[in-house]
Amino acid sequence: MPFVRTLVRWSCFTAAAATLAIPSIAADKKAAPKEPVAAMPSYYGPQPATESLDLSMYARIREEGFRHSHVMEFADALTNGIGPRLTGSPNMKKANEWTRDTLTKVGLENAHLEDWGEFGMGWQQINTWGRIVTPDSEPLWLQAAPWSPATNGPVTGEAVYINISDVKDLDKYKGKLKGRIVLFGAIRTTPDLDGPLFHRYTEEELKEMETYPEPRAGAPNVQQLMADRMRMRQVRTEALKMMTDEGVAAIITPTRDGGKGGGTGIIFDDNGANLVTGAQKKEVAVTIPNAVMMIEHYNRIARLLEHNVPVTLEVNIETKFTGDHEHGFNTVAEIPGNDPKLKDQVVMVGGHLDSWISGTGATDNGAGSVVAMEAVRILKSLGVKPKRTIRIALWSGEEQGLFGSQGYVKQHFGTFAEPEHPDAPSVPAFMRTKGKLTTTKEWETLDAYYNLDNGTGRIRGVYTQENYAIAPIFAQWLAPLKDLGATTISYRNTGGTDHLSYDAVGLPGFQYIQDPMDYETRTHHSDMDTFDRLHATDLEQAAVIEAIFLYNTSEREAMMPRKPFPHPELDKQRSAPLEGIYPNAAETK
């Protein structure tokens, strides 16, 4: 099934649907005649039987990366020095400029910012607080939802609890909400933590990743899931419209859980907290100040209201819009290649620089950004003159849909034609079956892209995105690094982050296997995502391994092997049921 991707554990950009097989919109099986598979071009190219590794360079990179590391200096400056970096915001601009200038300072060339297009509103949170006024006084822990307007000073109002699953349920609130503070969303019990918040992969877990994934028993019913999701989105839209018409003073939503049932006082503040999809767009901007609250505080107020105890709240949501049509930028810099034949070929490393707002975007994805910066700093400090060009890219717009890396790939390597199907525009981009892929000259020169965006955990191996030819190459590269715990080559796909933008157009793009740590349970998109959660030795290890992967790729005899050229249309036909093979089946008209 052409559109299936196996999401191993988590994704940064929560496009959960990407893990599910969606019956492609344009699945008009009878339309195009079958084409022989052989027709597709392949860039497999001759590959050396064994990798020739420069183990002295391995030693020099380890020495520089472990004895003279600067990765935590970068991390301190980015997370404590600049802070949360929502795309389009003033801090994002600071981070783009700081990374550009710092990469220049550590010796990289052509450092510049690339505009990938219009993103939406510029926004920042200034100050958010709340408290129960009656029947008891209690300070409340909440943060503004991204792109929320301000309350223009503290507002006091009676609280109303709205937990509905059907538009009809809205009627009973009509005419009763003016100036109220609405708790919108269900009370959520928080089960006891049944396991540690912090975890490193065990040998068994890593071994399991080397196996072909069996389809999970009781896999979710896709259509039902999507139908439920669409229906809840409709209810939310109607409710928001009614609350706007009624003149509600503010909306409070309960934070989602972090996969371990949540609780523990953490606020997850990402697009899950938004009341509309694509909340950064001026045309769909929410006009009621809204914030997301720690579940324990949310549950107390909602329970009081369920017991018909009147509750008065005071909330102050102070935010600022800094532009309506801000563009997004990627930071790009390089160590130019030197080999006359190979210098125009490029090996890239990167991760997204943007973050959500409630913490300082340390593990997501300050970690991946500073590790990439450290990897190229290591190579530059060792005076490496690579054969191929080594390029770093730090993306923005990742959290809202891989916008920065997709924009870069579109501008440099290739793009898909839009599908012709009439109602395609109404379906989210990542669910659409793509049209024909057109590639550029530059597409031929991109050797590989390495991404790090699964938190602060050390590298335990690589997902090869079903690129079977590349697996033995990576295995040979990792063998001398066994002592660092990087041992696992998984053929599997992993999703939800920027390597997908390369993989989608048939270019080798990879995300490393990283120890989970407390990424999903505590820091991923939460107020706990701070410098304190970064692990220095893990980030040093990751930078050493990325530097070695960059060096090996740039010095290799041959370009890295690729998967067959993506042919979305053809791929779909190849999976279409074979016609006329069923015994005694009558001819279908």
The contact set with Zn ion (CB under 5 A) reads 12, 364-365, 453
User: Shortest gap between Cβ of 365 and Zn ion (angstroms)?
Assistant: 4
Are residues 252 and 187 in contact, defined by beta-carbon separation less than 8 angstroms? no
Alpha-carbon distances, residue 142 vs 134, 399, 468 (angstroms): 18, 21, 47
Separation CA 164–CA 187 (nearest Å): 11
Q: How far is the CB of 404 from Zn ion (least distance, A)?
A: 12
CB nearer Zn ion, residue 315 or residue 362: 362
Q: For residue 83, which phi and psi values (nearest 5 degrees)? A: 105, -155
Q: In angstroms, what is the minimal distance from the CB of 11 to Zn ion?
A: 8
Q: How far is the CB of 167 from Zn ion (least distance, A)?
A: 34
Minimum CB separation of residue 555 from Zn ion in Å reads: 30
- Taking the least distance from each CB to Zn ion, the nearer of 316 and 365 is 365
What is the DSSP annotation of 464-505?
-TT-TTTHHHHHHHHGGGGGGT--EEE-----SSTHHHHHTT
Smallest separation (angstroms) from Zn ion to the CB of 117: 20
Helix (H) or strand (E) holding 518: none
Q: The tokens of 380 are what?
A: 């530059």
Report the alpha-carbon distance of residue 330 to residue 16 in Å, rounded. 25
| Cα–Cα dist 449/511, whole Å | 9
Biggest CA pair distance of the chain: 78
C-beta of 270 vs 555, nearer to Zn ion: 270
DSSP state of 401: T
The Cα–Cα gap between 194 and 175 comes to: 44
- Tell me the closest approach of the beta carbon of residue 568 to Zn ion, in angstroms: 26
Q: Hunting for tokens 């916008």 — which residue is that?
A: 403
When the beta carbons of 148 and 365 are compared against Zn ion, the nearer one is 365
Q: How far is the CB of 394 from Zn ion (least distance, A)?
A: 12
Pair of tokens at residue 237: 């839209």
Least Å distance, CB 497 to Zn ion, is: 6
**Residue 322 CB, nearest distance to Zn ion (Å)?**
23
In this complex, which beta carbon is closest to Zn ion, that of residue 12 or of residue 243? 12
- The residue among 85 and 297 lying less far from Zn ion, judged by its C-beta, is 85
Joined tokens for residue 517: 């740590």
Closest distance of CB 89 from Zn ion, Å: 16
Q: Which residue is nearest to Zn ion (CB)?
A: 12
Q: Which is nearer to Zn ion, 164 or 362 (CB)?
A: 362
Residue closer to Zn ion (CB basis): 58 or 119? 119
Least Å distance between CB 316 and Zn ion?
30
Long-range contacts of 53-60 (CB under 8 A, 24+ apart): 53/476, 53/477, 53/480, 53/552, 54/551, 54/555, 55/480, 57/382, 57/384, 57/548, 57/551, 58/480, 58/481, 58/548, 60/382
Least distance to Zn ion from the beta carbon of 355, Å? 8
Closer to Zn ion by CB, 498 or 555: give it.
Answer: 498
- Beta strand extents in 495-577 (DSSP E only): 509-514
Closer Cβ to Zn ion, 116 or 184, answer by number: 116
Residue 280 has phi, psi (to 5 degrees) of -75, -10
DSSP letter assigned to residue 365: I
The answer to whether 262 and 295 are in contact (CB under 8 A) is yes
Q: Which is nearer to Zn ion, 289 or 328 (CB)?
A: 328
Task: Find out whether the peptide bond into 365 is cis, omega within 30 degrees of 0.
Answer: yes
Query: Which residues, including other chains, have CB under 8 Å from residue 264's CB and lie 6 or more apart?
Result: 190, 193, 197, 522
135 upstream amide cis, omega within 30 of 0: yes
Of 452, 357, 382, the closest CA to residue 92 belongs to 357
Nearest CA among 303, 298, 306, 300 for reference residue 273: 298
Could you give the 3-state DSSP secondary structure of residue 374?
helix
Spatial CA neighbour of 309 closest among 322, 317, 318, 300: 300
Minimal distance, residue 364 CB to Zn ion, in Å: 4
Count of helix runs (H) and strand runs (E) in the chain: 12, 16
Given the complex with Zn ion, which of 400 and 553 has the nearer CB atom?
Answer: 400
279 versus 379: smaller Cβ distance to Zn ion:
279
What the block records as the tokens of 131 is 């408290």
Smallest gap from Cβ 273 to Zn ion, in A, equals: 16
Exposure letters 514-530 (e unless 16+ CB within 10 A, then b): bbbbbbbbbbbbbbbbb
Enter the tokens of residue 235: 């209810």
366 or 414, CB closer to Zn ion?
366
Closer residue to Zn ion, CB minimum distance, 280 or 365: 365
